[in-house]
Structure 1
Amino acid sequence: MKTKFCEYLTMYRRQRGYTQAEMAEKLEISRSTYTNYETGNRAPDFETLIQIGDILDCSLDELFGRDRGGSARYPDRVREAAPVYRTNTEYRAKPERRLAIGQQDFRALREQNAYYVDKTRMIEEFLGSWYQVTLITRPRRFGKTLNMSMLAEFFDCTKNSGDIFAGTYISRSRAREEMNRQPVIFLSFLDVKADSADGMLAMLADVLRGEYGRYYQLIADGSLPDVQKEIFYKNYKMLCSRGITEEKKYCIKTAVKELCQLLDMQFGQKVYLLIDEYDTPFISANAGGYYSEIRDVLAGVFGTSIKGNASLGRAVLTGIQRIAKENIFSGLNNLSVCTVTDREYEDCFGFTVEETRELLEYCGVGFPEEVRLMYDGYRFGAAEVYNPWSVSCYAARKKADFYWVNTSENSILKDALAKQGPSFREEYNHLIEQGTVTVEAELAVAYYEKPGGASFWGLLINAGMLTVEEETEDGRYTVRVPNREVWRAFRELTAFCLQVEETEISRMLYALRDGRPEEFARIYQRILLELPSYHDLKDENSYHMMLLGMCAFMRKDYEVQSNRESGEGRCDILLYSRRQNLPGIILEFKYTREESEDLEALAQKALDQIREKNYDAGMHGGSWHFGLAHRGKKAAVRWEKL
């Protein structure tokens, strides 16, 4: 019953200080039935209306927003009711309003009165979209789950969400009229990861069972025919059962579609389907080596729910990448895929510059340049975006550190990097040296479906390891490493690719930076000996690029240059200090295959070349010079300080 009754019922109930549960108890009806009164999806009979008026001490005319003469009464009263929640600026000076770091449930966040960076404009953009199904790809920890929870709270017709949206952007938008008007199925696959096929299927069943359980009482109290109720009960019982049988697999495949049909019949409204981190099961199954065992079930879940589902109103899916395997999106014409390069939803995930500034000022830590260097640099569409997880952790701990860890993608990224060929390594080395490179990248395919350089570059972009600076032509992008924090992640990837302990690399680089040449030389020689045999140390460039990849991790302290003109020639690696108390560093490489050639003498030749060609021109203050000579896994290092 979409009249003003539901609004005035809600207003008077709040004014009297009753909860929905207390009202249901007083009326001797179920909580879900009463909730439907306030959302306008059900109408009480006349006797119940009289009871409501008695409980709330108001007339029926008042409940329907009319005076006794029949004219509208209190037309703005509902809008003027004092909000329970306020926007960020209204609480700016109250220290008790803390960050709720890691809280991904929108209602819980708002009920805690925690600081909230308002992303409710996403609701308006979603309602304005022409597409029935939208897939949004974004990196982990950029707010996907919280935003999906927000959408679920806003649209779900079994809830009354006015309080938790009070003071937000959407509460002042005409789109607020769509609040709590649709049946919603919200599934988060964020934690659906397992070591085996049966473990994965059990977790899928658990997620589906949770949503079935949420609707259990409503279906039981509702007016569905018994045959439809039996379908619901049968599915719920199967999802609750132990073990994995063929019958349970079939239930998992069809459970979403059948719940859509039941809710469509119950409410007379098409269902909004929200699936968060939809690709996590695919990634986990592929990494675990059991994808072939569950691909039919995974394809079935998505295929039956979003294709040919007459009860589906609209759907939103989020993830890192588009999964095409098993053609789960084939035949779906009304689909919008929004990658990090698209303008749609560009400022809905991550924090904009102004949002970052407001949050940090609220927390009393200011907005130092260090924050930009560490956590800025992402670009979604045309929006400049900060890493929200890292910014929040910085605000709480007041310390710039490496907070963002892409644990979910590490196995794919590491394995893929180790498998790339010479052409990719050349581009990768250019990226490590310059921080930017122009490559061919495929953003709309999953790497493990189509392994190769282009799809791996696409995965690095989608996972947040790189950001797109410019699309130069169809399929080619100029990409860059976003910030210092991500450089740290590349350090881990490179160490894994070399199969060298990251701590060993760190010790070597600290020795190089801190003026301990003997220790640097000792660790460098040990690393060469420990390198796996498949690393081709076949020429001077091999050693050069290996050490360049490691030195790039010193970007916080040094500007790294390679093969650049300096003095009277081109030096192999130059490290220009960014801090006055650190020396500049110059490294020159030599290589020989001759067993008879003296490596110490060759290293000295490299050291002399640095001095003779004046490679330290342009370096201010002192500098360390290193000559490095190589033959296979043997090396000699000579040095001097100027």
Structure 2
Amino acid sequence: MTRTVGIGHQDFGDLRKNGWFYIDKTNFIKEWWENADSVTLITRPRRFGKTLNMSMLEQFFSVKYAGRGDLFEGLSIWEEEKYRTLQGSYPVISLSFANVKERNYEMTKQRISQILTDLYNKNYFLLETGLLTEEEQKYFRSISMDMAEVSATIAIHKMADFLSRYYGKKVIILLDEYDTPMQEAYVNGFWDDMVSFTRNMFNAAFKTNPYLERAVMTGITRVSKESIFSDLNNLEVVTTTSKKYEDSFGFTEEEVFQALDEFGLPEMKKDVKRWYDGFTFGDKADIYNPWSILNYLDKKRLTTYWANTSSNSLAGKIIREGDGKIKQTFERLLQGEAMEIFLDEQIVYNQLSGNENAIWSLLLASGYLKVVRTEFTEAEGRTKYWLALTNREVKLMFENMIRGWFSERDGNYNDFVKAMLLGDLDAMNEYMNRVTLNIFSCFDTGKSAYGAEPEKFYHGFVLGLMVDLSERYLLTSNRESGFGRYDVMLEPKKENDDAIILEFKVFQPRKEQSLEDTAAAALKQIEEKDYAAVLRAKGIAQERIRKYGVAFQGKEVLIEGM
């Protein structure tokens, strides 16, 4: 009889007590304990079992679960007597910042203060032990949602002190999703305040804390050391490229295939692999996304599970608002190509708007990209990484996101695409002017007609064409430098469709008198550079190749054809 798949359960005890589907990851306990690192930061994409593993750690070590060895019976950790005696033997502070998603600094500080208040309320018995001095009791009672910042930043440190004295042992601290407030701070514009608050809290909890036995922090990203970890020289950072704990988060292919056999779905292994495989941690390839696998086992339907959530907003923001080079690279990724970079896994959030490396590093850490190969270059003294979209699920997620940029803001975009396919030049002009009027701001282009910003719209527009027409056309772009030039070629996949070449140009007042001149220059460039040669070489007749010059002046557009 197959086990029940309980979707969304993150409490280890609930899964074990109810006999719900669970893949044994308790070897993580042994590996972490024997590594003996003081403070461990583990980064993994969202919904990869971080919270469940933290729950597992708490219920293994915490004195509150003393005598609950039944939760671990039959699992790998329970095979060794040494670890049976270790269960339930340490005071544990377990916190999660997963729900700290407020829109400003004051609300964020209040939300974290509320979490700390809950911690103190759960340990209220300490006030009745006679262990605390009057000053300590006064501090204990001062912990509230509205407490002073200085009280909040020292709260974890103080609780570690109190628990350590009461139990006569140093404390294990578990902090899940530590970077959620940092991401919200970046998106909502209160980064500097959040960095100061977090740095002081982490320094007190994890560095200057003589009551700390060990600690684990989890998150999606490795926030730059200069931001919040500047004082933590005792921090062991485990990223997606690290070899430690490489199979402790996510499901291995062997585990997934065993599950498919259990659920009577052995014939689906190839399809499931295409949809949900692709993650690599350390040297361990073929890691699957647990959220998607669990949902597939439950619903028996291949679709976007992990990628189909609102948590994609940051990835969408940095691509949509990124410059032309970012969008060009993303075009190639959507076409199945790999990009190469020198990777820096420290995420500097306040550099995301201008640092291409930081953007790709963030997308890798978040699970949207995978490492397909690496190469150490002696000349640079660094490792070069080749990155690609992780799997079919991620690709479909991005395609749907790009469609949303246009369809949610202006239905005229679809009308423009239809007019272009029909070769209706008048309708193309009418609809394109409406599209640019309503969608320019979507790509954060600003108001300048001659600056760098319009390029963001052009490249975003090309991404839209690529996604909308992928069934009928192979879209490639010339990607030449300069803000007034953007070649786009649509090669038909069906014999009865025409090929299309688009050349984008921004009006240059020093060179041209009108938009008509700009459009004419675009058409002339198509002819002079013979962009149609590659289409003719593939057997497409000249009369089946349509050419359009698209001229821009701010949000005004003129399209001429030949």
What TM-score do the two structures reach when normalised by structure 2? 0.78
Partners of 2:235 and 2:225 lie apart in 1 by 16
Contact 1:375 / 1:483 at 8 angstroms: preserved in 2? Answer: yes
- 1:232, 1:352 → 2: CA distance? 48
Alignment match, 1:274: 174
> How far did 1:629 drift?
3.6
Aligned equivalent of 1:567: none
Q: Which residue of 2 aligns with 1:287?
A: 187
**1:373 aligned partner, one-letter code:** R
2:32 to 126, 139, 143: 126
How far is 1:338 from its partner? Answer: 0.9
Structure 2 counterparts to residues 540-551 of structure 1, below 5 A: 545-546=459-460, 548-551=462-465
Distance of 2:291 and 2:469 partners within structure 1:
22
> Judging changes above 3 Å, is the alpha-carbon distance between structure 1 residues 385 and 213 closer, same or farther for their aligned structure 2 residues?
same
1:379 is aligned to 2:284: no
Aligned twin of 1:466: 369
Contact 2:416 2:431 in 1 (8 A): no
Following superposition, the deviation at residue 344 of structure 1 comes to 1.1
Q: Which amino acid aligns with 2:79?
A: R
**2:427 matched to 1:482?**
no
Q: Aligned partners of 1:429, 1:504: CA distance in 2, in Å?
A: 23
Pair 1:180 & 2:88 matched: yes
In the TM superposition, residue 294 of structure 1 has moved relative to its aligned partner by: 4.8
The alignment status of 1:349 with 2:249, answered yes or no, reads yes
Partners of 2:186 and 2:24 in 1: CA distance:
36
453-462 vs 415-424, greater mean Cα deviation:
415-424
Change (3 A) 1:262 1:437: same
1:430 to partner: Cα distance: 3.6
The letter of the residue matching 1:631 is A
Q: Which amino acid aligns with 1:186?
A: S
Fraction of identical pairs, as percent: 26
Q: 1:415–1:131: structure 2 CA closer, same or farther, 3 Å change rule?
A: same
Describe how 1:141-152 pairs up with structure 2 within 5 A: 141-152=47-58
Q: What is the deviation of 1:113? A: 1.9
Q: Quick one: distance in 2 between partners of 1:164 and 1:255?
A: 31
Instruction: Tell me the distance in 2 between the aligned counterparts of 1:334 and 1:373.
Output: 40
1:191 counterpart = 2:99: yes
SS of the residue 1:401 aligns to: coil
Match of 2:41 in 1: 135
How far did residue 123 of structure 1 move?
1.0
Structure 1 residues 162 and 420, CA, compared in 2 at 3 Å: closer, same or farther? same
Is residue 438 of structure 1 aligned with residue 354 of structure 2?
A: no
Separation in 2 of the partners of 1:558 and 1:272? 57
Distance 2:515 2:346 in 1: 51
Instruction: Tell me what 1:75 maps to.
Output: none
**2-structure distance, mates of 1:536, 1:501:** 27
Q: Secondary structure at the match of 2:118?
A: helix
Counterpart check, 1:634 vs 2:558: yes
Distance 1:191 1:591 in 2: 44
* Deviations 1:517-568, CA, capped at 9 Å, x for gaps: 7799586675355442658799xx999855542244369857846269xxxx
Secondary structure of the residue that 2:502 maps to in structure 1?
strand
Q: CA deviation at 1:208?
A: 1.8
| Deviation digits for residues 3-34 of structure 1 (CA, Å, limit 9, x no counterpart) | xxxxxxxxxxxxxxxxxxxxxxxxxxxxxxxx
Instruction: Check conservation: 2:368, 2:394, Cα contact below 8 A.
Output: yes
1:453 aligns with 2:356: yes
Deviation at 1:598, TM superposition (A): 12
Distance 1:636 1:502 in 2: 26
Offset of residue 574 of structure 1: 5.0
Question: Is residue 232–residue 259 contact of structure 1 (8 Å, CA) maintained in 2?
Answer: no
1:449-498 deviation line (CA, Å, top 9, x unaligned): 675222122111112221222333426421111123222343466568x7
Q: Deviations over 1:130-186 (max 9, x none)?
A: 421111111111111111111111111221331122222222245633222211111
Structure-1 residue corresponding to 2:64: 158
Range that drifts further, 441-450 or 526-535: 526-535
Counterpart Cα distance in 2 of 1:583 and 1:171: 66
CA root-mean-square deviation: 4.2
CA contact (8 A) 1:170 1:176 kept: yes
Which structure 2 segments of 5+ residues have no match?
A: 377-381, 441-446, 479-486, 506-511
Deviation at 1:198, TM superposition (A): 3.0
Distance 1:195 1:365, change over 3 A: same
Deviation string 1:421-455 (CA, Å, 9 cap, x unpaired) is 45444434443444321123321133226752221
| SS of residue paired to 2:41 | strand
- Structure-1 residue corresponding to 2:481: none
Partner of 2:508: none
AA partner of residue 107 (structure 2): G
Work out whether residues 379 and 385 of structure 1, in 8 Å CA contact, stay in contact via their aligned partners in 2: yes
SS in 2 for 1:226: coil
Tell me, in whole angstroms, the C-alpha distance in 2 between the residues paired with 1:147 and 1:363. 24
Q: 1:542–1:187: structure 2 CA closer, same or farther, 3 Å change rule?
A: closer
**1:107 and 2:8 equivalent?**
no
Aligned residues: 519
Q: Is the 8 A contact 2:44 2:220 kept in 1?
A: yes
Distance 1:196 1:185 in 2: 27
Bigger mean CA offset, 446-455 vs 543-552: 543-552
- Indicate if the aligned counterparts of 1:187 and 1:275 stay in contact, CA closer than 8 A: yes
Larger radius of gyration: 1
Q: 1:348-381 deviations in whole A, cap 9, x for unaligned?
A: 2222212222333434444254333322222121
Secondary structure of the equivalent of 1:227? coil
8 Å Cα contact 1:466/1:481 also seen in 2: yes
- Larger relative contact order, structure 1 or 2 (CA cutoff 8 Å, min sep 6): 2
TM-score by length of 1: 0.69
- The reply on whether 1:168 has 2:68 as its aligned counterpart is no
Q: 1:108 to 1:531 in 2, by over 3 A?
A: same
